[in-house]
Amino acid sequence: MSKTVVVNEEEFEPLVEAIQDEDGWTVDESTITDPDGAVAVEISGTPAGPGASKKGQGIIEWLIGTALVALGVLSVFILFAPSFIEAFNTQITAMIP
């Protein structure tokens, strides 16, 4: 009879080390199968577990990137806005009769 056990990352590595020299055991990247057919499957983490901090990593990187782009656009505007305003005012006042 096959039984499946789900373990987290912290429990999976010691299990692999403990059985790596045993005959009949099959170790894959995320599963361990014993000679009787029981399978232990690794999970990446639970919301309260070690994988929780990685969950929002992409959105944080995206927000930082967006903030840097916005800061760059603002810096360019601050540098060049006075000359654009002056050129615009000069053209408008030249067209007034």
CB atoms within 10 A of CB 24: 9
Does residue 1 surpass a pLDDT of 50? no
Nearest to 40 by CA among 52, 51, 31, 50: 31
pLDDT in tens, 28-82: 777 777 677 677 776 665 444 455 556 667 888 899 999 999 999 999 999 999 9
Nearest to 3 by CA among 47, 26, 43, 33: 33
Q: Are residues 8 and 34 in the same domain?
A: yes
Q: Are residues 72 and 96 in the same domain?
A: yes
pLDDT in tens, 43-56: 665 444 455 556 66
| 11: containing domain | 1-48
Q: Are residues 60 and 82 in the same domain?
A: yes
Q: What is the pLDDT of residue 83?
A: 92
Name 5's bridge partners.
40
